[in-house]
Amino acid sequence: MLSYWEKSSLIEYDLVVVGGGLVGSFAALTYRKHHPEARIALLERGVLPNGASTKNAGFACFGSISELQEDLNDCNLDELVALTEKRFKGIEYLRASLTDTSIGYEAVKGYELVFKTVDSDQLAFFNDALSSVFGKNPFSDLTPSLEAYPFGSKVKGLIEHAFEGTVHTGMLMKALHQKLQEEGISYFTGSELVEFEETASAVSLWVASSKQRLQFKSHQLVFCTNAFTQYFFPELDITPGRGLVLVTHPVKNLKLSGSFHYHSGYNYFRCIDNRILLGGARHLDKSSETTTTFGVNEKIQNQLIEDLHTIIAPEYKLEVDYSWSGIMAFGKNKQPIIRKMSDRIAVAARLGGMGVALGSLVGKEVAELL
């Protein structure tokens, strides 16, 4: 049974955001800017954000050349340029909203490992296409500098992206939580939405929390649940994709500055706290990784460990400390879904594995739809 205080102050809102990650947080913060007196709540089913917002690798990236080339199979060049610009603007908005210090942002640049020779024509093509987005050519052939890196002999070339960087994912979410608190936005963890119903005057939401079933009411509702949105709106083109991340034990004097990618962006790694953090390889077993169930795919884990010793840093004696997985969302193309489903309900989802770059802007845009 609810108390008088709970009924009068804690269950009715002007806006409820389902999903307390990066997108949901920015949706709530943007709504606050437009509605300073609004009652706003975020509902997060986990104790921590339960998708990828606290489980990603912290890459502020926009797409390596091989990844962009593959993306052209699903969109035209103008669409790809527009999406890349959205990613770049998203990172800029994230940095401006929270400050580089608070999110641990470092402009370390991005690097793509090439296993043949660098295709100079392809590099020139994407520089020509994207120079208007970044203000100058983003890509350069860094192959002559390969000896400065600890890579194995399989790596034949290296392409630099001058504008990529990294964030500290934990610091980022901590900064967002602090911002939400400062703005008077209620944040309910351990609160899983199990049912909702829209009426002419409001939306009723039934939430399972601490073995209770609570009913909230809100004038407007936003779903920022990425891959998990398929459970509420199965008609949307959303396919889940699980991503595995490993982190090694610390090694003294490990120097590897940058955000690194290979195999069309499916694989990635970086150095943090004298550890190598690496992940991806979802393409090796896409059928098994098309899931919203967290877990470790041993086939993929074994390949990542082999890559660690044969491709990434064979000269170091690296051992994996632990691993985890996050859930991303994909579709027929990598355009995010930002859509009103009714007069009171909107959806922001399907960030295509680029949540760090797109999340803040997608959250802002879905709030502005309302």
What does the alpha-carbon distance between residue 252 and residue 363 come to, in Å, rounded to a whole number?
Answer: 40
Average pLDDT over residues 36-50: 92
* Mean per-residue pLDDT, 84-93: 97
> Tokens representing 323?
């691993």
**Superfamily in which the 1-58+168-238+333-370 domain is placed by CATH:** FAD/NAD(P)-binding domain (3.50.50.60)
Query: For residue 212, what are its two tokens?
Result: 């209770």
Q: Output the CA–CA distances (angstroms, integers) from residue 205 to 1, 32, 251, 305, 358, in the order listed.
A: 17, 21, 49, 44, 28
| Residue 209, pLDDT above cutoff 90 | no
Q: Going edge to edge, which strands form the sheet with 110-114?
A: 139-141, 157-161, 110-114, 259-262, 267-272, 275-280, 239-248, 320-330
- Within 10 A of 123 (CB to CB), how many other CB atoms are there? 16
pLDDT score for 3 = 84
Q: What's the pTM value of the predicted model, to 2 decimals?
A: 0.95
> Is residue 167 helix, strand or coil?
coil
Report the C-alpha gap between 361 and 213 in whole angstroms. 33
Interval 199-224 mean pLDDT = 91
Residue 69's nearest CA partner among 143, 111, 125 is 125
Q: Which residues pair with 159 in a beta bridge?
A: 112, 141
pLDDT at 307: 97
Task: Please give the pLDDT value at position 10.
Answer: 77
Beta carbons of 166 and 259 less than 8 angstroms apart: yes
Instruction: Give the per-residue pLDDT at 308.
Output: 96
- pLDDT tens digit sequence for 176-197: 999 999 999 999 999 999 999 9
Please provide the average confidence, as pLDDT, over all residues in the chain: 95
Q: Is the pLDDT of residue 6 over 90?
A: no
Number of CB atoms found within 10 A of residue 199's CB = 9
Q: Which is nearest to 199 in space by CA: 226, 217, 174, 172?
A: 217
pLDDT of residue 253: 85
What's the pLDDT score for residue 309?
Answer: 96
Contact of 258 with 64, CB cutoff 8 Å: no
Q: At 211, is the pLDDT very low, low, confident or very high (cuts 50, 70, 90)?
A: confident
The pLDDT value given to residue 255: 80
Closest to 225 measured CA to CA, from 370, 344, 60, 351: 351
Percent of the chain with pLDDT over 90: 91
Pair type for strands 186-188 and 275-280: unpaired
Q: Is 7 a residue whose pLDDT tops 90?
A: no
Q: What is the pLDDT of residue 238?
A: 97
Measuring CA to CA, how many Å separate 97 from each of 53, 103, 189, 275, 355?
A: 17, 10, 23, 29, 16
Quote the pLDDT of residue 8.
73
User: What pLDDT, on the 0 to 100 scale, is given for residue 351?
Assistant: 96
Say how many Å lie between the first and final Cα of the chain, rounded. 33
